[in-house]
Amino acid sequence: MTKPSIHAAIDLGTNSFRLLIAAIRPDGTLEPLAKELRTVRLGQNLHATGQLSPAAISRGLDALSRFAEHLAAYRPHRMRVCATHALRRATNRAAFLSEAEHLLGQAVEVIDGHTEATLALAGVRQAMGGDAPLLVADVGGGSSELIWEGGVTSLPIGAVNLTERFLPSGCLPAEAALAQVRAAIAEATEGIALPTLPPAGLLVGSGGTATALAALDLGLTTYDASRVQGHLLPLARLQALLDRLARLDAAGRNALPGLDQGRGEILLAGGLIYETLLTRLAAPALTVSDTGLLEGILWSTCA
């Protein structure tokens, strides 16, 4: 009997680092063996300084040390490590990348926005199946990717950089601050030609912002990927969630159940990006996908 091949994927994002180790069965299905997310906020203050801070570098390397323990236990046959916005932009990334590659025993690819989007679409499509037209919106920490069959757009806005620019953590969000966030999103999306969603088309939200919003809408106290996958979030319910988040300061949002560490602090800004997209596209709802970039990276190791 043919043994499953073990593969690993690591996503080094602006807000979080994620690891997935899975067995690829002979029939082509995936069996997750280990999955971990660490909130490192690698892109903290990056928009202002252009560099990774010593504290962010330390948090990132600590997370990779933990990932290395998983990799040693499972000894994957193939692995791919991809870095996105923060490491695309940071002028001092070379030293971090060198340390990361030493810890992981694997080269780190700093992928461009187009590659990131293509991998995210592959991860979403693999889980959702079917042939319905998809427009995938992956709201990240430092950038947001919009992906559809034959088209990709990367926007220079994300949940982390919008939060740091307009929503200071020590106070309740003011109406003026929320207006500034919406204006920044409108400016970033102005002139972007998006496809018209056909009646059977889906606007799919992938990534931590989308899944966190789904977890809140479902009232989860512990995150449950099986319930989040495919959850529908209409504009009216999204706006109700945003109103709820806007009545809390960062500490209050972070204390909400069902969210990964530190997610609440940046969730309001990320949710406002989805609000704009739903409005512009006149989509009936956001369809949330628990899969995306990380799974796309893993499946790419099978090529």
Instruction: For residue 7, give both structure tokens.
Output: 């593969």
The predicted structure's pLDDT at residue 131: 73
Q: What are the C-alpha distances in Å from 71 to residues 33, 59, 141, 231? A: 11, 19, 26, 32
Determine the longest span between alpha carbons in the chain, in angstroms: 64
Spans of all domains in the chain? 5-111, 126-293
**What crossing angle do the helices spanning 54-74 and 93-104 adopt, rounded to 10°?**
20
Residue-level pLDDT at 161: 93
Q: Which element (helix H / strand E) includes 22?
A: strand 16-24
Which fold is adopted by the domain 5-111?
Nucleotidyltransferase; domain 5 (3.30.420)
Q: Is the pLDDT of residue 169 over 80?
A: no
The SS3 call for residue 79 is strand
pLDDT over threshold 60, residue 1: no
Q: How confident is the model at residue 229 (pLDDT cuts 50, 70, 90)?
A: very high
Query: In this structure, which CATH number among 3.30.70.1380, 3.30.420.40, 3.20.20.20, 3.30.420.150 belongs to the domain 126-293?
Result: 3.30.420.150
- What does the CA dihedral 199, 201, 279, 237 come to, rounded to 10 degrees? 100
Task: Kindly report, residue by residue over 89-141, the tens digit of the pLDDT.
Answer: 999 999 999 999 999 999 999 999 889 988 999 999 888 876 778 899 999 99
Two structure tokens written together for 88? 């695309």
Q: First vs last Cα of the chain: how many Å apart?
A: 22
pLDDT tier, 195 (very low <50, low <70, confident <90, very high otherwise): confident
Q: Quick one: DSSP state of residue 171? A: S
Same CATH fold assignment for domains 5-111 and 126-293: yes
Q: What is the pLDDT of residue 198?
A: 73
Q: For residue 27, what are its two tokens? A: 């029939």
